[in-house]
Each structure stands twice: as C-alpha cells, then as structure tokens.
Amino acid sequence: MTTEASLVREYQQYINGEWTVGSGRLFDDLDPYRAAVVARVPAGNRADAARAVDAAAAAFPRWADVPPAEKQTLFLRAADIVERRRDEIIALLAAETGCAAGFAGFQLLTSVRLLRQASNWAYLPAGEVIRSDIPGTFALALRRPLGVVAGISPWNGAQVLAWRTVVNPLAFGNTVVLKPSEQAPVSAGLLVAEVLDEAGFPPGVLNVVTHAPGEAVPIADEFFDRPEVRCINFTGSSATGRILAERAGRALKRCVLELGGYNPLIVLADADLDYAVEAAAFAAFFHSGQICMNARKVLVERPVYDTFVDRLAARAGALPSGDPADPRTLIGPLITPAALDRVARDVDEAVAAGARVLVGGTADGPCYRPTILADVPAGARIHSEETFGPVLVAQPVDNADEAVAIANATSYGLSAGILTRDNQRGFALARRIDAGVVHVNDQTIADEPQLPLGGVKDSGWGRSGPHSMADFTELQWITTREGTGSYPI
C-alpha cells in the first residue's frame, strides 16, 4: 500500500458522456514494480455494461452519419491531446503496467500516428459500383458500419492497443463500449475516454466500463446477449480469444481477434552478426517479452550458431532490469506475481527436462532476468507455447528449409523475422512462412498504423488499420432500376 493513500486518484467509469462510479465499489489498481496502489477504479458490473451498451446504441445512428470533416477534426484534436499529455501518460504506463521508457515512447508515437491517420478514414471509398446484367439496373456494394462494437483490451501495450481497439471501429462509423484489462483500467481504458471527452466526441460514441480482477465475464455476458452489439473486438491471449470466438459463434456475432504468437526469428549464415545480435536482443526482451510479437525462438544456421548465441547471451546478461520509471531500465517487472510464477514454472520445467540455460533463468525481484535456453526438448511447454516473459529458445538448423519447417510447426502465426543480407532469398522464404507478418532482414516487432497487423491460425482473425474496414463494416447491395421489368410469374 502507498504511504500517501490520500493522493491516490479515484476514477469513474465513462458512460454516455458522463463520469459515473456505477456499482459503487472501487478496487485497487496496483503497480507491478512496487505493489503500491496506483489508482482506485470502479468495479463495474453487468448493469454498468448494460447502460454502456444502451448509450452506444442510442449514439450509433447519429455517429454513423457524422460528416467526414467533423470526424477528422475530432480525431486530430484527440491526437493533439495525447501529445500534450505525453509525459504524464508515460509515467502512468510505468506505474500501472511496469512499462519502461522505450516501449512507452513507442506506444505514444504509434497512438498519435494512428489517431492522425484514422482522421482520414471516413474519406476512404465507401463501396463500389458493380455492373448489373439487368438492363436499367444500377448496382452498388455500399459499406456501412455494423452498430455497437464491444472492445476488450489488454494490459501489455495498454495505450497503443486500447487506441487500436477504439479508433478502428469508430473511424468507420461504429460506436464502442470498451472493457479494459483489470491490470490497466486507466491506461488501457479510462485515459482514452478522458482524451475523447476533451476532444469533443459526442456522448455515447465511446463508453468505458471497468471491472475488478476476475470479474470480466458478467460484462462479456452483456456484450454477447445484446443484439445491438454486432462485433467483439479483442486483443489478448489465444486461450481467451478461443472462449470469445466460441461465444461469438453461438451468438452469431462477428469477432476480430489479435491473439498470441510463438514468433520465430531466423538467422541465416550470411546475416550481419552484429546486427543480428542487436535485433534478436530487442525482439526477445523488449517490454520484458510481454508483447505478442516478441521473438520466442531463434533458429540459427549451424555455421554461425555458436558465435551468435554466445554474443546474444552476453548482450542479454548486460540488459539492466529494475524500476520502469528509471530511464536507464530496459527490463521492467512482469505484470503480476502470477505472471512471474508462470514464466519461472515454464523455464524450470524445460530445465528439468534437459534444457540448458545460456543466460538468466532466475527472477530478480518482480523482474525476470533475460533468459536464453538451448536444447529445449519437444515435450517442454516452452518449446511450442508462448511464455509471456523474457525467455528465448535457441535452436540450430541445417538450412533455411529446416528453419521454415520449424517456424511453421506451431499452432500460432503472428509475426516472423528473417535476418539475411540477401533480401531476394529472404523474400522467397517469407512467402513460405505461415504468419500474418514477416520482416526480411529485420526482427519480429513492428507496428505502423497504416499496415495490416494481424495473425493467422491461433494468432487470430482480422487486420488493424485502414484494412480493418473489412472487419468493421458490412457491404450492402443496393440496386435502383429504371422503368419497369417483367417477371416469370
């Protein structure tokens, strides 16, 4: 507990343009590094979610018809507000999510760019004219928004992923109810509401409902039971994504899922090894391995394997861990003690089964030391499952074909990197990898608002950015016919 409890800010939920406590109960939002209380946040319930869906449904018809120029002004104002509040948001990300300065800066930059780019999406072509074979008939495939989109956002990239959850559907004319992660209710939710409120978004266009740990399901129940909610827009683990997709199937609602990954980084023998070591250290350990795009396995051609892993282990062992608010820190804490236990369990299990620790392998307070494992047996969980921490599995390969085969031998398919000086060869390999994103001569982590980030297989459905128009609109076939026709009966 903090020593100055009176300074801890109490938040309210944001429903229909108003701040409200809702159920009346508050819960403690904890700092993962110090376990101090960062904020006191409403433990919302199903009734709060119901009011939020009502508000979003009522706001929908008008928001769907707001002229593009008006939407543009609102999004651009929101971008300016995020920029103005930059330092405060970076401090909040450190306190609430353990996010060190590098990733916080990246989140801010990408969020602002997303808002600025999305300000123009209302001007994207709203459909096509398609030739009809019926004389005098003029046919259109017209894009129109779905209605209410329920967003469920995670804690790890709290800012950038909350903005993505909200901005993509809003830009195409939907209204949104956002349920942020209980680990980051402010930075993944309420802060977004503060910004859009100040920017002047009309009441009900965005609503944010928060909840205490372990109390997500009643809010999700409301989303699935309400006919006005037409789509579930989720970013989080594949396990939760599977539950939501099953429920969406039963309710015949769309779902957009950005899920986990077991992302391979391939190092070919011709790679620039200095660069490859830097790229691998970043890919494996950025944000303490708590990004869906972190590299989980590095596949290295045998002639350079020993040199590469020795140098990468030295680099990993030198990364400073500790207080995320200290600008020198590169490895912050894991989000909860339970997350730390899971990472330690997976590493210990692999070691007990014969894996070798090249570096790390232990916790350092609430942080886990950057870890590289070799000789991980196929039966160990970490051989093919995402451990959401700073742990990389290293494996030698005989050639690029073997690397591609191993890269594809997982249930996931989010991101991959191929480090080579031969871009043409890298491009040919990239096309054989089953992943939503492949970077040639680069590592696995990247996000640009205009590019279609998303996964295949267990990594999800749907794409972010302007390409999300396909996810957040329906095509309506409209015809108009000149004169009269004749029918067979």
Task: Return the closest-CA partner of residue 109 out of 64, 79, 136.
Answer: 79
H helices present in 65-128, as ranges: 68-84, 86-97, 101-118
Instruction: Provide the minimum distance between the beta carbon of 210 and ligand ADP in the complex, in angstroms, as a whole number.
Output: 10
Nearest distance, CB of residue 316 and ligand ADP, angstroms: 23
Q: Cβ 154 to ligand ADP, closest distance in Å? A: 4
Residue whose C-alpha is closest to residue 400's, from 310, 309, 271: 271
User: Least distance (Å) from ligand ADP to the CB of residue 330?
Assistant: 21
Q: Which residue number, 215 or 402, has a Cβ lying nearer to ligand ADP?
A: 215
Taking the least distance from each CB to ligand ADP, the nearer of 180 and 396 is 180
Q: List the interface residues with ligand ADP, window 182-241 (CB under 6 A).
A: 182, 216-217, 220, 236-237, 240
Check the CA dihedral 165-166-170-171 and report its sign: negative
Q: Compute the least distance from the CB of residue 64 to ligand ADP, in Å.
A: 26
Residue 292 known to be catalytic:
yes
Contact set for ligand ADP, span 153-182 (CB under 6 A):
153-154, 181-182
Q: Which residues contact 487 (CB under 8 A, 6 or more apart)?
A: none
Cα–Cα distance for residue pair 424/430, rounded to 1 Å:
10
CA distance 276 to 429: 17
Give how far the C-alpha of residue 190 lies from the chain's centroid of Cα atoms, to the nearest Å: 17
Q: Is 427 exposed, middle or buried (0-12, 13-18, 19+ CB in 10 A)?
A: middle
Give yes or no for residue 417 binding ligand ADP (CB under 6 A).
no
| Nearest alpha carbon to residue 457 among 377, 378, 383, 386 | 386
Of 142-150, 151-159, 163-171, 196-204: span binding ligand ADP (CB under 6 A): 151-159
Q: Which is nearer to ligand ADP, 101 or 162 (CB)?
A: 162
The stretch near ligand ADP (CB under 6 A) out of 35-43, 149-157, 266-274, 300-308 is: 149-157
Catalytic option among 292, 301, 367, 386: 292
Minimum distance from CB of 286 to ligand ADP (Å)? 17
Sheet holding 229-235, edge to edge: 18-20, 13-15, 206-208, 175-179, 148-152, 229-235, 254-258, 460-461
When binding is defined by CB under 6 A, the residue of 79, 149, 152, 347 that contacts ligand ADP is 152
At residue 361, the 3 state secondary structure works out as coil
Can you tell me which of 8, 76, 91, 243 binds ligand ADP, judged by CB under 6 A? 243
Report how many residues bind ligand ADP under the rule CB under 6 A: 12
- Residue 331, phi-psi category: left (phi > 0), alpha (psi -120 to 50), beta (remainder): beta
Q: Which is nearer to ligand ADP, 185 or 426 (CB)?
A: 185
Indicate which residue of 96, 182, 222, 258 is catalytic.
258
Q: Under the rule (CB under 6 A), what is the footprint of ligand ADP? A: 152-154, 181-182, 216-217, 220, 236-237, 240, 243
Catalytic residue numbers read 258, 292
